[in-house]
Chain A
Amino acid sequence: MAAAFLSRPVYPGLALVPQARRHIFALEGAGAGALTDLAPDAGALTRSDILYLPRDPDGAAQAVALAALGAASLWQAPDLAALLSRLAGLLDGARMGTRLYAAGSEGFIGQVLVVAEAAGIDPLSVATEHRGNRARRVQCVHCKTVAEEVTTQPCACPGCGLTLFVRDHYSRRLGAFQGVCIDAEEPGSAPAAEEAFR
């Protein structure tokens, strides 16, 4: 794994804020395990809403495990856009004392934080835990297209087709790493792509 760099977000792991009036858990794929491992007490669960985006291969089993927690509500999202939209709806009109928790892939967490910030939540107050692969969301700095699930270095921009070097520079606002053309100075000199983010 690449060395830490200073714009890289830190995901310290989910820790319950016991005083919270309401807990909202936004979970993706293996991120479900972050909540089941946390095993909140029954009192906290009665104040908890869970939004879950299952991912193969363990999505169904994890959904069962989440349901077994007995939270106030559990909603399974058909896709990411639906989850983010539902989250925005929950946060609209929410009160101080509502605490948000996000667990899953890095790209998922990044997009949950974008929704949170838009709702008036300071991103630093959101508990996050990275579970799952290390694939990166990458914004092409040239055409601004965001590539999802990038696992190679360099990668191809799905928008403009340039070969991008994925920099160790991360934008919380965009929830994405920065991709910069790797062979701009000598077009055609890009090295072959190698698996880098798994």
Chain B
Amino acid sequence: MTELALRVAAIDDAIPGIRRIRLVPRTGGLLPAFSAGAHLVLAMRDGPTLRRNPYSLCSDPEDRSGYEIAVRRAERSRGGSAFLHDRLAVGDLLSAGQPANLFQPDWRGRRHVMVAGGIGITPFMAMTATFDRLGLPFELHYACRSRATAAFADLLVARHGARVTLYPSDEGRRIDLAAVVGDQPLGTHLYTCGPDALMAAALQAARDAGWPDQALHAERFEAPPPGDPFTATLARSGIEVTVGRDQSLLEALEAAGVAAPCLCRGGACGECATRVIEARGTILHNDHFLSPGERAAGDRIMTCMSRFTGDRLVLDL
């Protein structure tokens, strides 16, 4: 089938709080090539719970002998990062979907400017490798707490030299975003991934400098937010599914054996949009896909991110 059967080949904990994991095909051979900016949805069997979380691929897309991800231990983990940090060991078996991409480079770009913050560096590992291979001009601006805690910092500088600039906050360095976007040639594209505030600031700096929206790209991955438990009634399968505090609606559906559509699991792609037949209460929309008008209509819910509070929620599933 299309699921990838993977084995943990190496774990690197050199940077505190960040675990690099190398995954190789269980039966040898090569994995599919992937596109820069792609992510992998990893399925993790943690006791009775099957978790599926998306992680950006941070290895070189042309290295098909294995995939690498880098996972930061979340301060308030829903389980995924804690599992990968505390319980995963070399030799463990995992499975994953095929790589998918919601953050691909615009190949028309004459120049590619990347602004990363913290663990948001991961998609840019693959992007810089690809841009370098294709001979496309690029520059990477990487904000971090310190040189010592910045994942991949040494590797990036060794690979790309002056095209990479580090901004360790403990040295008092901050990205001068206005300067970054202030003197770029026509046809430049901007990509940003990191904390919300950094992404918003980078996009705003570009807009303030007159950049068009078509040149702006942000990776809007988020973990599903926790919230009060609620129950969803599934009209077609005739069952009720209870969604726990640290569980997403999608995860609850999957745990109940319901084949629910999904792709990115981060509220970005729209694949999991599900028709709401009845909602006595309020849908808590946490996705980036539905427009304000569609949210107001209240007839669809994105199961990977959104929650519900109220008496009764009936879904067309």
Interface residues of A (CB under 8 A from B): 17, 19-22, 91, 93-99, 119-122, 124-125
7 new A-B contacts at CB < 8 Å, known A96-B215, A120-B187, A122-B215: A19-B209, A91-B186, A94-B185, A95-B184, A97-B210, A120-B110, A125-B215
A22 to B186, CA, bound (A): 12
A178 to B204, CA, bound (A): 41
Interface contact A98-B186, CB-CB below 8 Å: yes
List of A residues within 8 angstroms of B210 by Cβ: 17, 19-22, 96-99
Beyond A19-B209, A96-B209, whether A122 also contacts B214 by CB under 8 A is yes
A-B pairs with the 9 shortest C-beta distances?
A120-B187, A125-B212, A97-B210, A20-B210, A122-B214, A120-B186, A96-B184, A19-B210, A97-B209
Task: Tell me the total A-B contact number using a CB cutoff of 8 A.
Answer: 56
Which partner residue on chain B sits nearest A22 by CB separation? B210
Which partner residue on chain B sits nearest A124 by CB separation? B214
- Please encode chain B, from 178 to 219, with 1 for each CB lying within 8 Å of some chain A CB and 0 for all others: 000111111110000000000000000011111111110000
A88 to B187, CA, bound (A): 14
A98 to B208, CA, bound (A): 12
Please tell me the size bucket of the interface on B. Answer: 20 to 34
A121 to B215, CA, bound (A): 9
Interface residues of B (CB under 8 A from A): 108, 110, 181-188, 206-215
**Distance (whole angstroms) from the CB of A100 to the closest CB of chain B:** 10
A121 to B207, CA, bound (A): 15
**Distance (whole angstroms) from the CB of A55 to the closest CB of chain B:** 28
A-B contact pairs, 26 of them (CB 8 A): A19-B207, A19-B208, A20-B210, A21-B209, A21-B210, A91-B186, A93-B185, A95-B183, A95-B185, A96-B186, A96-B188, A96-B209, A96-B211, A97-B182, A97-B209, A98-B186, A98-B210, A99-B210, A120-B110, A120-B187, A122-B108, A122-B212, A124-B214, A125-B212, A125-B213, A125-B215
List of A residues within 8 angstroms of B182 by Cβ: 97
List of B residues within 8 angstroms of A19 by Cβ: 207-210
Interface contact B208-A96, CB-CB below 8 Å: no
A94 to B188, CA, bound (A): 11
A17 to B187, CA, bound (A): 17
* Residue with the greatest number of chain B CB neighbours at <10 A, chosen from A19, A20, A95, A97: A97
Which partner residue on chain A sits nearest B109 by CB separation? A120
Which partner residue on chain B sits nearest A20 by CB separation? B210
A17 to B212, CA, bound (A): 9
Interface contact A95-B208, CB-CB below 8 Å: no
**Distance (whole angstroms) from the CB of A170 to the closest CB of chain B:** 20
A192 to B207, CA, bound (A): 52
Q: Which of B108, B185, B213 contacts A96 (CB 8 A)?
A: B185
**Distance (whole angstroms) from the CB of B174 to the closest CB of chain A:** 21
Beyond A119-B186, A121-B187, whether A96 also contacts B181 by CB under 8 A is yes
List of B residues within 8 angstroms of A98 by Cβ: 186, 210
**Distance (whole angstroms) from the CB of B169 to the closest CB of chain A:** 27
* Residue with the greatest number of chain B CB neighbours at <10 A, chosen from A20, A21, A94, A120: A120
A20 to B210, CA, bound (A): 4
